[in-house]
Each structure stands twice: as C-alpha cells, then as structure tokens.
Amino acid sequence: MRIAVYNIRYGTGTGFDFHLPVPFSGYFRPTMNSSERIWTFLDRLDADILCLVEVDNGSYRNLGRCQAATLASRNGWEHAFACKYHKHSLLRGLPLLWSQGNAIISRIPLKGTREHSFSRGMKRTFLEVRFDGFTILLAHLSIGSAARIQQIRELAQHAATIKGPLFIGGDFNTFGGKKELAPLLENTSLRDSDAAGRPTYPSRSPKRRLDYLLASMDVKVKNFEVPNVPLSDHLPLVCDFEIPEARTPAAVS
C-alpha cells in the first residue's frame, strides 16, 4: 500500500507571486486552478491513502466546495475532515478560519473517525482514522515551541492507547529539529519512516524538516520518497508499506 502526507497550503500556491501585492495575499485568492494542479499530481501518485494538511473545507476560495470531498468524490473514495481549531474556539467563527483543517482521503474503507483536542496551542485538533488493521493520526502542530512540546507529549500518550499498527503523520513544525520528537520515538514503538531525514520546507529550496510520517515497528516500510514538487510551500512525503497479515486489529478508544 502507499500513503502520502502533504501540506497543500489550502491550494493557494507558492512562489514570489504568492506575496503580491502584499505579503501572504495569496491566502485570499481563488484556489481552483492551483488546487487542480495538486489533484493531478496526487492522482499520478496512485496512493491508497492521502493525509492532507491545510485543507479548505468550503470557503469562497474554493467556490464553497470542500477540497477533501471534491478529491474523494472524483475517485469514488472516502474522506474525513477536522477543523484544526478547537471546537469551542472563537476562531471557528471567523471568515476563512472556520474552513481550515486537515483531511484523510482513502480508497480503503474508513472503519471509524474521531477528532481529538490538544490541551494547548492555537491549532488544537488532530484527526484519528481507523482502518481494517491499522490506525492513522494526522496532526498540524503548533508553531509556538512550548505548545508544540506539550502537543508532542500528548500525541505520545494517545499513541500508547492504540492497539495494532499505527501511523502518525503531518506537519509537525519541528523548527528545533528531530530531537523534539523524542517523546514519540523513545516512549512508543514508533520510528521515523524516512531513514534519510530529508528536508521538506520551503519546497523550492528545502532546508528544514517539518513534515513527518512515523510508523510503528509492526509496519514494514518498503520505500520512502520526497518528490520535488513545488505546488505548495511544503514537499510531499510518499511511503510504500506492508502490514503483516498476523496483526492486532486497531481500535479507536
């Protein structure tokens, strides 16, 4: 099977034009054309599961259409979406922000989904999706280091409650380096799927590694790639994997 992790920046694009006429003005423009370029790339990947960070759930930028639902429907797949802000956050009532979150899109049937909340940070939610025999947690961690440290600890604690093969992926914003992930890698059965530790940000000249896919020891990673695709400000992760047939069914607690 193949899984991809990609921060698509809501399909708003990248490059010098993104900051014209004023910095970050690209966030407010229509995204239909740039989104279509991303969908074409993702179709060519032929992945079984797409874990997308910074997805638009239906703002005016995408003509009121949920990007995850659009991509899922064109392929006859299933999807799950979670707004990245806490369900009681005032940010969910603001223009654009209410529609911003993360999504998992899959050709493999979803067996269960849950939205969880971190105790700290502006981006407070992470998505849990259960499949037949394994579970995926998708997160977009805080830019603030103190909140991010706490979120990583809470991810490790939650990972310990999940039975069976497990993936944790997303944009972790690890500006302090991989050492920030020590609670996830030392206190659980998880390991880094990219043995080469390749940088993913910024996409046109990557210098920092912000995006990760961690997998439990009972997942066999066969191949891992970081395609050089400047369709967003992040590069995507692509992992081919196998899960032994003798596995413990994963459960959403």
Position 252 scores a pLDDT of 41
How many structural domains is the chain composed of? Answer: 1
Question: Does 252 map to a domain?
Answer: no
Assess whether pLDDT exceeds 90 at residue 17: no
What is the band of 250 on the pLDDT scale with cuts at 50, 70, 90? very low
What confidence score (pLDDT) does residue 62 get? Answer: 94
End-to-end CA distance of the chain: 25
What pLDDT is recorded for position 182?
95
Which pLDDT tens digit goes with each residue over 145-201?
A: 999 999 999 999 999 999 999 999 999 999 999 999 999 999 788 999 999 999 999
44 occurs within a structural domain: yes
In a domain? residue 87: yes
Residue 199 lies in a domain: yes
Does residue 230 form part of some domain?
Answer: yes
Q: What are the angstrom distances between the C-alpha of 214 and each of 34, 122, 188?
A: 29, 23, 11
| 247 found inside a domain | no
Q: Is the pLDDT of residue 241 over 80?
A: yes
**Residue 81 domain-assigned?**
yes
Question: Residue 40's closest CA among 1, 79, 70, 9?
Answer: 70
Q: What is the pLDDT of residues 52-98, one digit of tens each?
A: 999 999 999 999 999 999 999 999 999 999 999 998 898 899 999 99
Q: E strands within the chain?
A: 2-7, 49-56, 78-83, 100-106, 112-117, 125-130, 135-140, 166-171, 190-192, 211-216, 220-225, 237-242
Task: Look at residue 244 in the predicted model and tell me its pLDDT.
Answer: 82
Over range 126-142, report the average pLDDT: 97
pLDDT confidence tier of residue 245, bands split at 50, 70 and 90: confident
Q: Which domain holds residue 118?
A: 2-242
Alpha-helical runs (H) found in the chain: 32-45, 67-75, 145-159, 182-186
Residue 214 lies in a domain: yes
What CATH number is attached to the domain comprising 189? 3.60.10.10
CB 173 within 8 A of CB 180: no
pLDDT digits (tens, 9 = 90+) for 200-231: 999 999 999 999 999 999 999 999 999 999 99
Q: What one-letter code names the amino acid at 51?
A: C
